[in-house]
Structure formats: structure tokens, C-alpha cells
Chain A
Amino acid sequence: MRYDAIVLGSGPEELVGAASLAGGGRRVLVLEAGPEIGGAAAAEELLPGFRVDPVHADAGFLDPRVLRDLELDRYGLALLAPDPVLAALAEEGGALTFWRDPARTRVAIADRSARDAGRWEAFAERMEAFARILEEVAGRPAPRPAGPLRELAPFLGLGRRVRALGRSDMTELFRVLPLPAYDLLEDTFEDALLKGALGALSVRGLFQGPRAQGTALALLHHLVGSPTGCFGTRTVVRGGVGGLIEALDGAARARGVELRVDSKVERIEIERGRAVSLRLADGSGVAAHAILSGMGAARTLLDLAGPTWLDPDFVHALRQIRCRGGFARIHLALSEAPRFKGLAEPAAGTIVLAPSLDYVERAFDNAKHGEASERPVLEARIPSLADTTLAPAGRHVMSVDARFVPVDGRDSSAGFAGATAGDALADRAVALIAERAPNLPGAILGRKVLLPADMETRYGLDGGDPYQGELALDQLLFMRPVPGWSNYRTPIQGLYLCGNGTHPAGAITGASGRLAAGAVLADLEGHG
């Protein structure tokens, strides 16, 4: 028996893809290699009753069309709006808090710099306007410059929106896109803490410091889908990303999608240039008219399909994709919430330790020479403050990302590969936070550390990169996953890609899954 489509992987994009295919009337099978639907996005129990998202920070910027088409609210999806969205911890104690209400953030900034406070709202609005443009781009297939002209048609509307920004903002947009975040922030603000916090957000998903070109774009990228001024916290789902997976699982099953776990694919079988079936680790085979893989372009095409059917230049391009997550994730189960000195409200959103732009750049300096940052940039969340489903009553879960950690430490004895190295890094991160929240060490009930290598071996995330391809200028739009192949198709007929490594990338959006399913459906119909 032959399925219309088989989806490899069961992350958010793959489930959106599967549900969209089934919604198009197709017979769909999802194969998940791991024991749980969701893969790297499935919730894990740190201790009984303590739920964490292993590698994701939040539910990204869920494409409204996905929410609407899949009716995710019917399957338990509930969106939360933690406030404050961002708390930037100061060296000297205390914090700068960013709120959903830009006026309230202005007041908070005014305590540190009247000049910056005066500039905040205009900056936030302008960044939001720019992010809206990117959002427009994210919801469509990336136009390929060398592709057919019709691919450009939807972007005429986008061009109008860019012009609607007005002359000065339009010029500013094109100035900002390739700019280092460092320059953008130095141009605008004087307060080191404010600049440091935004600088830390600009290097998420990158193995670069804020002085690198294109980091301003990354800062904007992370704003897509957020309300004005909501730097640092995007869509938050009850139950975490694991909660999103449960809703998508429900929506997919309701549309008739068949899901199998513990089904590791060994090989994509190809006949005369067309993907026809899959061979599983248990030796069984399963046939399909189309295969949609969320396993990353290089893994799918080089490891599963093999380079036989691929042109050498294409193979070369696949091998050039840079995946460098550059962070370690430390999960903590806590008996009580950390109490930050000088912070009145619970820090329900993102907590950042990056007191200045130079601090962030220096943290990267270590990493670019193959060593973990001496003073890492920390980005932490205590999602249980806003979501009581994640921990037993009164207890909490906290996730800390320590940036930067090279994928392969230069010296493995000082290194980053072993459990000892991970523990040392976690100790350092906890100690840094404890300087601001002294009750933290005593509250820890359980701890788990994931180094980039762990993310790679455990979740198949190359380079420990949850984005599966750095968000660098040369790896976006029509160049994602490789130049000229942004339309979810591959040189092998019947084999398609979705997931974070494809456009639009940089977060969970559902857009990649939705757009890839569109490509599959169009081809299946063309095929009869």
C-alpha cells in the first residue's frame, strides 16, 4: 500500500505539514524516530511533574493562517502573555524590565536614562514596522531571483508595503537590514544595560557577536510576530512547545494522519530520480508518492537519500550549510522561584544576563577561538511563573541558555564534550545568576545540561542548532536551505523538505510546514 505522503519527523513544522496534506484530502503517515511525537519539540519530564522543552525557547511566531486553518484552539492550544517580557539583569543588582505596554517600558528605562526613554517608543515602533515586512516575507515561499517571474508576483504587494513606510523609514530599513546590531544600538541608545540586553537577543541563532554584519536583521527576525516592543518573548503556549505539539498532534489525527513513533528511517529509496519509498531501521519498507522530510537538508539528502542522484555543486552547497547553535541549555527543577534582587515582579518572560554590548562581544571572542565563554551570556526563562501546568504547585522549572559554547571545543579536556564540562558550565551559570538571586542554588531539586553535541546526538540537531542553519544573511530567503532550492523541493522528484532549516526559519512558525505541504499538494495534483 502506498501513502500519498510520508512526513519524516514530528516537530511542529512536520505536524503542520502532515495536517495540511491530510486537509488536502491526502493519505498521510508521520514517522518519528524517537519514542514521543514531537521529537526535539516534545516536552520532557525533568523530575515527576516538572515539564520542560528540551531545546526550544518559545513557540516562535505561529503563522496566524496555521492557527486558523488547523483550528488549534479546538485541540487545546492556549496562548499565554507573560509580562514583563524581558528582564535585563544589571551588574550592580537590580534589573531593567521591558513590558508589553511600551509606555511602561519607557518609564522603566527612564530610571536609567531619560534620553533613551525618550527614544524607546519610536525605536520600538520602527522595529515593529520593519518586522511586519519580514513577517510578510515569512508567510510566503521565498522568491528565487532566477526562478519563474510568477514567484515574484506576491512580492509586488510587499514592495508596496515597503514604500508605504515612507521615504525615511524605507531608507532606514535598507540601512538596518545588513547592519551589525552593535551599530544600530550604539546609534540609538546610551544605557549599557539596555544595549547589552538587545545585543544578546540579536545573536540568538547565530555563532557571531553583535559586531557582526547581519545581526540587526537577526534582532528584527526575533521580533516577527511579537506585539510592539516585545523583545525577547514571542508566542508562549500553555504547556510550552510540548503543549503546541499536543495540539498539533490532535489536529493531525483528527484529519486522519497516521502517526508512528520509534520508526527510524534508514534510507530513502530512489528509482530513476524519484523518491519512491523508505526503508526503516527494523528492515520494513513503506512506499509513498511524496516524502516530506523535516530532518534537515543535509541529513535528508546526503545521509538518507545519498549523493548518487545529486549534482556535485548541490552536494557542495549542502555541506556548506552552517549549523552552529552555540549554546548550552541548563534545565533546573526548583523548589521555589528565584528571587532577583531589586526586581519587584516575578520575571515571567525572558531574563537576560548581558550587562553591555562589549560583554556579549567578549563572550563570543572566547567561543570563536574554540573555548566556552569565560563570562557567558545567559538567557533564562521560568515558564512556570505564567503556566502552572509545568510544575507541581509552588514549584518551578527554569531553563538557562549559556551562550557561547562552540560545537567542538578545541581542547576536550578543558572541553565541552563530556558530562564534567557540562556540569562545570552549569555551575558557572548558576553561580552567575545566584549573584542576583541568592536563593537559587538552594532551590535546585534537579538539573540537566544539554551541550551542543548532546542536542546533535539526542535530537538530530546538527551543531546543536535548533534553527538548523544559522540565521545569517547568506542562509536566508531564497538561499535557505541552499541557494535556488527554497521552494521545498529537491533535485530528487517526490522528495521535499520542511522544518527550521527551510524558509522562513528562525523559529517555530508553522509556515514552513504549511508552504511545503502546498508544494507537495501542487505536485501531487499535477501528477494525477
Chain B
Amino acid sequence: MTTAAVRTTPFHSRTAALVRGHTWRHWAGYVVPASYDLIHDLEYAAIRGTAGLIDVTPLFKYRIHGPAARALLDRVVTRDVARSKVGQVLYTPWCDPEGKVLDDGTVTRLAEDLFRLTSAHPNLRWLHQNAVGMDVVIEDETYDTAALSLQGPAARQILNLVADRDLTKLKFFRAAETSLGAIPATVTRTGYTGDLGYEIWVANDRAEALWDLLIAAGAPHGLQPTGLLAMDVARIEAGLILIDVDYVSARRALIERQKSSPFELGLGWTVARDKAPFVGQRALERERVAGSAWALRGLVVDWDALEELYADVGLPSQVPALPWRTSAPVYVGGRQVGYATSGCWSPLLKKSLALAHLEAPHAAPGTEVEIEVTVEHRRRRALATVAKTPFFDPERKRA
């Protein structure tokens, strides 16, 4: 048996030197730091307090250009790409013909007929299958393009120190072509933390120089190399879902019930009305009318309830040290009405949070439910309240 080589990103020479505890995580065939220190608390604190620098190279990236580039993307994704402006970034899912989500990512309109699509899973074949008869070029730049995510309140300040133009005016979900130092880069005001932040896209051979440049400029401002665990806490606080964790791609689902529509994932806002035909449109229009069976919501676990459960066994309350991604049943009146797919202790909000799939009748914010928790090896249920996401939504994210 042969095993595929584990890829390292173009930042590996820099990140590997800093990962002290061999705390690596696999992501799309790469290894990237889960945390740099043995615990991720400082890295999380950087995201919310100063700035974290995260290697997000493993994202799949496609450069799509040509006269039909817009038409292809409009055919694939649920957002209305025709209405996007040059320099705009769209977050969007895309679906199979039954309207079930295959993947989610961003579409950046770099020019009238030039786009970058990012995704969590490979999508090259899907793009080609949808491009039949279209005058469009699809280039897989996954392994040619490196990406860093600079996230946190100081991100703008740090970026402006190195950018050859002032990026203060770059709005939320907008892109700019610029140079950082002398490194040509695309900067998008996007991220996976729900904070002020940017993602920076450069050619592989400029990756190390970019890292060094940002660290040198950012260190005095508290810039901290940050791993996936800290980002996971931040993304749960921001209510951002994660493929393979919070939902199963329709492409990889083994049974029908594992699949979810955008409406069922809280992404109904991304399903454009009156746009050009796209894969899954008919099914989604039917669902829009008929209503969805499921909804993805936030849960806030009641602290007093947790405290009581622990008190029962003579322990003080404990909170999970790491963000979790096991499935936890959710009940109403003793009947299971859903399941939580990921959660964490929010150091900032001082709350135990979860993201959960709930049967639609039990999904109204404020609904009281119970979530299964394991207390001293026994399954117990703790009171929790259905909440809208994001749990944390700072002004600076958009400002």
C-alpha cells in the first residue's frame, strides 16, 4: 500500500520553526499548525485582541476567466454573480440538482471576466461538468497560490504598514490588488473569525517573504502566528459553519438524510431570487415555498444547569478546553429534536456555545431545549437556549 505524501504549505519553513508541541492538524491533504503553543488560548486572544496570522493555503482555489466565466459561476453558485461588481467578494454555497449543499466558499470578482473561487473540497470536475459548451477557462491554482489570513482588531493597522496603498477604505467583502512590500498580492477583506480581518493571496514563491514581512511589521502590534484551534473557537463564536463538521457535502453523503439545503444551514440569504438558472434552483424554489424541515441555529448552554450537573457528582463546573466537534443530541420534552455538531467555551462571552441542527418547529430563537453533556462519564442533559448567530459580531468586522 502506498500513502499519498502529506503536503506542507509554502509557509512551512516559517511555521514549523514555531510549532513547539508537534501540534499539527490535517487539512485537505496538508499539515498546518493546530496551535503553536501547547494550548491555543494566546492565539485566540490575539484574534480578538490584537491580530492572528493563520496559514489558510489548503483552501482549494480556482481561477476562472473568459467570456462565460460569469455565466459559469452563476450556473454553479446560489448567489447572483451577475450583480456583483469588480472588486466584490461573495460568500456562497453551491448545490447538487436536488438543492443540497455540495460545498461553500467565496467568489472574488477580480475583473469583469476574471474570478477566483475558493472551496473546502476539490471542485474542478464539477466546474468542468457545468462548463459544457461555455467559452471559459478554469485553472486550478490550489497548489500555486498561498494564502494567509490576518485576523483581529489590529489587522488593518498592520496591513497598512506594509501595503503600498492605504487599505483603510477597503470595505467588508471587497478585494484589492496591491503590493505588500514588493510582493504582488490580492487582499480580500474576508476571514473565518467574524472579526476585522483580511485574507492575502500570493504566488507560492513569495509566501515566505510575505510571512517575514508581516511578522516583522506586526510583532510590535501583537501579531501572533495562530493555528486552527483558535480559529475554530472564533468561527463558532461567529456562527460560521464548517464542512465535514457542521454539514456533510451532498457529494460525500452516504444517505439522503445526511444532506442539507442552504435553507437548512442558515444560508437561505445566499439563495438569490430571480437570478439566472443554477444547479438546484428548482428544488430550492420548491423548498422556499414549502418550507424547510431543519434549521441550523446557535445554542447557549445554561451555566446554572451545568453547575448543577457537576455539583451532583461533587465537582466544580468544567468547560471543554478545546472546541469540540462530536455530535450531541438535542431534546425538547424528552424527545430528540436535533443534534449539535460543534461547540466551544467562548472565553470572550464566557458562555458554552454550540451550533445545532434543529427540527424547524423547535428552531425559534429563545426556545428552551436540552443538550446532552457527559458529566463524570455519565450522559446528562443540560438546559440550553436557541440563539441567533453570530454569537459575537463586533462593529469593527464591517466598519
Interface residues of A (CB under 8 A from B): 273, 302, 306-309, 311-313, 315-316, 319
Contact = CB atoms under 8 A, between A and B. Distances in A.
B75 interface: yes
A309 B278 CA distance: 7
Given A313-B97, A315-B129, A319-B132, A308 B276 contact: yes
Interface in B109-132: 126, 129-130, 132
Contact of B282 (A273, A307, A313): A273
B133 interface: yes
B277 interface: yes
A140 B159 CA distance: 70
A316 B125 CA distance: 11
B231 interface: no
B210 interface: no
Contacts of B97: 311-313
A315 B76 CA distance: 14
9 contacts: A273-B277, A302-B133, A307-B132, A307-B133, A308-B277, A309-B277, A312-B97, A315-B132, A316-B129
A307 B71 CA distance: 11
Contacts, number: 28
A319 B276 CA distance: 23
Interface in B281-309: 282
List the 8 shortest-distance A-B pairs measured between CB atoms, nearest first.
A312-B129, A311-B97, A307-B132, A315-B132, A312-B130, A307-B133, A309-B277, A308-B277
Contacts of B276: 308
B279 interface: yes
Contact of B126 (A273, A309, A312): A312
Nearest to A315: B132
Nearest to A310: B132
Nearest to A302: B133
Nearest to A316: B129
Contacts of B279: 311-312
Given A308-B276, A312-B129, A313-B97, 5 more contacts: A309-B277, A312-B97, A312-B126, A312-B279, A316-B129
A314 to B, nearest CB: 8
A309 B133 CA distance: 13
A118 to B, nearest CB: 56
Contacts of A311: 97, 279
Contact of A308 (B75, B126, B129, B282): B75
Contacts of A273: 277, 282
Contacts of A306: 133
A402 B134 CA distance: 38
B221 to A, nearest CB: 47
Contacts of A316: 129
B270 to A, nearest CB: 20
A202 to B, nearest CB: 35
B265 to A, nearest CB: 21
Contacts of A313: 97, 129
A302 B71 CA distance: 16
User: Most chain-A Cβ atoms within 10 A of its Cβ — which of B71, B276, B277, B279?
Assistant: B277
Nearest to A311: B97
Contacts of B134: 307
A316 B132 CA distance: 9
Nearest to B97: A311
Nearest to B98: A311
Interface string B59-79: 000000000000100010000
Interface in B225-284: 276-277, 279, 282
User: Most chain-A Cβ atoms within 10 A of its Cβ — which of B126, B130, B134?
Assistant: B130
A189 to B, nearest CB: 47
A302 B132 contact: yes
A496 B279 CA distance: 21
B284 to A, nearest CB: 13
A316 B133 CA distance: 12
Nearest to A318: B132
Contacts of A309: 277
A273 to B, nearest CB: 6
Nearest to A319: B132
B77 to A, nearest CB: 14
Contacts of B75: 308
Contacts of A312: 97, 126, 129-130, 132, 279
A315 B97 CA distance: 12
A158 B279 CA distance: 39
A309 B130 CA distance: 10
A495 to B, nearest CB: 14
Contacts of A315: 129, 132
Contacts of B282: 273
Nearest to A273: B282
A433 B129 CA distance: 48
A316 B129 CA distance: 7
A302 B130 CA distance: 12
Nearest to B127: A312
Nearest to A306: B133
A273 B130 CA distance: 17
Interface string B126-166: 10011011100000000000000000000000000000000
A302 B131 CA distance: 12
B38 to A, nearest CB: 46
Nearest to A272: B277
A458 B126 CA distance: 35
Nearest to B129: A312
Nearest to B74: A308
User: Most chain-B Cβ atoms within 10 A of its Cβ — which of A306, A311, A316, A319?
Assistant: A311
Contacts of B130: 307, 312
A316 B97 CA distance: 13
A273 B286 CA distance: 13
B133 to A, nearest CB: 5
Contacts of A307: 130, 132-134
Contacts of B277: 273, 308-309
A292 B75 CA distance: 26
A216 to B, nearest CB: 35
A315 B134 CA distance: 13
A290 to B, nearest CB: 19
A309 B71 CA distance: 12
A306 B277 CA distance: 12
A375 to B, nearest CB: 40
